[in-house]
Amino acid sequence: MRYISTRGEAPALGFEDVLLTGLASDGGLYVPESLPHFSLEEIRSWRGLPYSELAFNVMYPFVDDAIPEDAFRRMLDETYDGFVHKAVAPLVQLDTNEWVLELFHGPTLAFKDFALQLLGRLLDYVLEKRNQHAVIMGATSGDTGSAAIEGCRRCEHVDIFILHPHERVSEVQRRQMTTVAGDNIHNIAVKGNFDDCQRMVKASFGDQSFLGGKVRLAAVNSINWARIMAQIVYYFQASLALGGPDRSMAFSVPTGNFGDIFAGYLAKKMGLPISQLVIATNRNDILHRFMSGNRYEQHQLEHTLSPSMDIMVSSNFERLLFDLHGRDGAAVKELLENAARGPVSIEDYRWRHARKLFDSDAVDDRATCQTIRQIYDENEYLLDPHTAIGVKAARTCRRDRSVPMITLGTAHPAKFPDAIAEAGLSVKPQLPAHMADLFEREERYTVLENDLASVQDFMAKHWKHA
Ligand SMILES: Cc1ncc(COP(=O)(O)O)c(C=O)c1O
Ligand SMILES: N[C@@H](CCOP(=O)(O)O)C(=O)O
């Protein structure tokens, strides 16, 4: 399997190099040159498989022989054995043909665990094989950071630097990151927002000279192809559990960096019958505005009750634009360079094609709270604010009630007690036993100005072998 850049200039790479490279050297994102396609018969034959076996079937064509089958299987078993629910990704029914796919039973209570607990193992395997060290640089609006730290903390070959927006993640999210001890773990609170953090990460991949040429940077954000690859699997798992592939499914996906929903789009291209994909955003609704009016325009980032989705520059949207433009990297490059300067549109026929692929809705804090309350009243089931946005958008956009509508449950409500209280519920979501003492643990993090040079200087001084 070869991977090519969405901007068309960087060299094509194999899986192992894509895993380590993160952002392509031309600033683009790597995508597979071609996708594997599974027949209905083959998908049907996977019914009832344990999650890690299904994951092997879906993912191994992307890995190819870069990693031997038995080693990859071992990593998958270890990864998904670490989830507390036996089903790994259980479905909970809200109403007739309406479901939540709970993706928060991994160690850090958000869907990021599906990919990041595996990514840590993949990176360690490849770095060990090459006898190399890497400095991981990641940006988080709250969930990627803790999942990446958990996934990499035992890796012998990495230092990890996670940038989060200072005072803009929930207290549980911050503590999940900052209370993990380890001399290779570094948390930086940037006095800015998530987009500022992500911009610094991308700029650092573009010019790694601040590390003195002594070590390479690696990515844990969904710019790293391996993140997307692992997130494709649960679309297959949910569908198979509800009678797929012999019936079609609809998915509603709370969206920020466009990684999770892009994985759903790929699942469909790989042969899974999906009749509807709903992009669910909060008030930071650039993607909804684009889908509704073919205008891609950045507004001021707002702080909402769903902080993990407070994102304006959606990295993975570039991967979709690449497909919408017939995989013309030069066209994508030009479009995104223009988008950085002001509003852009795409040719009408391309936009109409996008509208056939996705529906969308934007949900504000008031409607988020209403949905949390409503679902609790109807089912005594507690939604976190991100999942609530997915459920609300699913109900607004649903086209065919005979098709199961599955909202991705992206985080555990215990990560966002303030939003639950804001929704007017007195119920207190409990942290699981392994986090019971989270508020007593010592925190370690450094607050830095919203300034690339300060962040790079900190990293250059603090990685283990600096
Ligand atoms: C809880 C939660 N829900 C939804 C999202 C959106 O996911 P994506 O960035 O893949 O669109 C994120 C992070 O971005 C998240 O942390
Ligand atoms: N919501 C994310 C933001 C980063 O997105 P990623 O999927 O590209 O890592 C977070 O919680 O950090």
pLDDT tens per residue, range 267-289: 999 999 999 999 999 999 999 99
Ligand 2, residue 143: give the atom nearest the CA. 11
Q: How far is the CA of 86 from the centre of ligand 2 (A)?
A: 26
Which residue do the tokens 């998958």 mark? 76
Domain boundaries defined on the chain: 88-109+226-422
Question: Which of 141, 198, 281 maximizes ligand 2 atoms within 8 Å of its Cβ, making it the mutation to test the pocket?
Answer: 141
> Cα 45 to the chain's mean position, in Å?
28
Percent of the chain at pLDDT above 90?
A: 98
User: Does 198 sit in the ligand 2 pocket, CB within 6 Å?
Assistant: no
- CATH number (1.20.1290.10, 3.40.50.1100, 3.30.70.20, 3.30.428.10) of 88-109+226-422 reads 3.40.50.1100
Q: Give the pLDDT of residue 308.
A: 98
Sheet architecture: strand order including 98-102: 91-95, 98-102, 405-409, 249-254, 274-281, 359-362
- Please name every residue paired with 281 in a beta bridge, in sequence order, or none if there are none: 362
Q: Which residues are catalytic?
A: 112
User: Does 144 sit in the ligand 2 pocket, CB within 6 Å?
Assistant: yes
With vertex at residue 115, the alpha carbon angle to CA 69 and CA 60, rounded to the nearest 5 degrees, is 25
Residues 6+ apart with CB under 8 A from 213: none
Of all protein residues, the one whose alpha carbon is nearest to atom 4 of ligand 2 is 140
Interface confidence (ipTM) of the complex = 0.99
Q: How far is the CA of 315 from the centre of ligand 2 (A)?
A: 10
Q: How far is the CA of 176 from the centre of ligand 1 (A)?
A: 17
User: Does 282 sit in the ligand 2 pocket, CB within 6 Å?
Assistant: no
User: Does 107 sit in the ligand 2 pocket, CB within 6 Å?
Assistant: no
| CA distance linking residue 123 with residue 82, whole number of Å | 18
With vertex at residue 100, the alpha carbon angle to CA 96 and CA 101, rounded to the nearest 5 degrees, is 130
User: Does 90 sit in the ligand 2 pocket, CB within 6 Å?
Assistant: no
Handedness of CA 278, 281, 286, 289 (dihedral sign): positive
Q: How far is the CA of 42 from the centre of ligand 2 (A)?
A: 32
With vertex at residue 384, the alpha carbon angle to CA 382 and CA 387, rounded to the nearest 5 degrees, is 105
Residue 13 three-state SS: strand
Of all protein residues, the one whose alpha carbon is nearest to atom 15 of ligand 1 is 308
Q: Give the pLDDT of residue 19.
A: 97
The helix-helix angle for 112-130 and 143-152 (nearest 10°) equals: 40
Q: Give the pLDDT of residue 466.
A: 59
Q: Are strands 98-102 and 134-139 parallel, antiparallel or unpaired?
A: unpaired
Query: Do 83 and 36 meet the contact criterion of CB atoms below 8 Å apart?
Result: no
State the DSSP string of 92-116: EEEETTEEEEE---STTSBTHHHHH
Q: Euclidean distance between the first and final Cα of the chain, in Å?
A: 35
Query: Do 63 and 36 meet the contact criterion of CB atoms below 8 Å apart?
Result: no
Of all protein residues, the one whose alpha carbon is nearest to atom 9 of ligand 1 is 257
Which residue do the tokens 């987009």 mark? 195
User: Does 142 sit in the ligand 2 pocket, CB within 6 Å?
Assistant: yes
> Three-state SS across 185-248?
EEEEEECCCHHHHHHHHHHHHHCCHHHCCCCEEEECCCCCHHHHHHHHHHHHHHHHHCCCCCCC
- Longest Cα–Cα distance in the chain: 59
Residues 6+ apart with CB under 8 A from 74: none
Residues 6+ apart with CB under 8 A from 334: none
User: Does 256 sit in the ligand 2 pocket, CB within 6 Å?
Assistant: yes
Identify the segments of the chain with pLDDT beneath 50: none
Ligand 1: lining residues by beta carbon, under 6 Å: 110, 142-143, 222, 254-261, 308-309, 386, 410-411
Q: How far is the CA of 407 from the centre of ligand 2 (A)?
A: 18
Ligand 2, residue 164: give the atom nearest the CA. 12
Query: Do 69 and 60 meet the contact criterion of CB atoms below 8 Å apart?
Result: yes
Nearest ligand (C-alpha, residue 143): 2
Nearest ligand (C-alpha, residue 260): 1
